[in-house]
Amino acid sequence: FQVLSSLGYHVVTFDYRGWGDSIGSPSERGMTYDALHVFDWIKARSGDNPVYIWGHSLGTGVATNLVRRLCERETPPDALILESPFTNIREEARSHPFSIYRYFPGFDWFFLDPITTSGIKFANDENVKYISCSLLILHAEDDPVVPFHLGKKLYNIAATSRSFRDYKVQFVPFHTDLGYRHKYIYRSPELPRILR
């Protein structure tokens, strides 16, 4: 937030329902609804100023859900920025370093199928096919939480999608030697230049 503020941007963020200071129970549908409500609130107060959506990690799922809906109603943001994104929650859960049981028989049935059947998909890979605004993906090669290959795979899907044919799609990797891992991309001295 401090980096963005220092560049002259106003930053608005909110706690997901059931997290932080927000009441309720988290759900993909509910978090997407809340994000849509926050976007509408901001848009009503921002005048002609550009509005950008930034999602990090799990927030990339909320961000692409939001931006897909905005594009469907023909009110897209000025750009979408995804930091450390995954393709979908199922692939992320399978690739997550804490999923040490993924090699055991029945892992999909026991762990992944309940996630999907409960309605949690966060399908970034599907959503990007319906998004029509500029897209910037930032990912550190040494990310231990969301593997780099998932961010690169998402970029490849977006870059070939017809929905982006009139918009810029960019992937910015951060080399392992930088040590930015999952949550330190903001430390990059190049970030202000990248965002401009």
Catalytic residues: 57, 143, 182
Identity of the amino acid at 67: V
CA 120 to each of CA 13, 134, 175: distance values in angstroms, whole numbers, following the listed order: 22, 26, 31
What's the helix, strand, coil split of the chain in %, to 5?
45, 10, 40
DSSP E strand boundaries for the chain: 52-56, 79-83, 134-140, 169-174
136 torsion bin: left (phi>0), alpha (psi -120 to 50), beta (else): beta
52-67 as b/e, with b when 16 or more CB fall inside 10 Å? bbbbbbbbbbbbbbbb
Interatomic CA distance for residues 64 and 79, integer angstroms: 11
C-alpha–C-alpha distance, residues 192 and 6, integer Å: 9
Q: Which of these, 121, 1, 149, lies nearest to 60 by C-alpha position?
A: 121
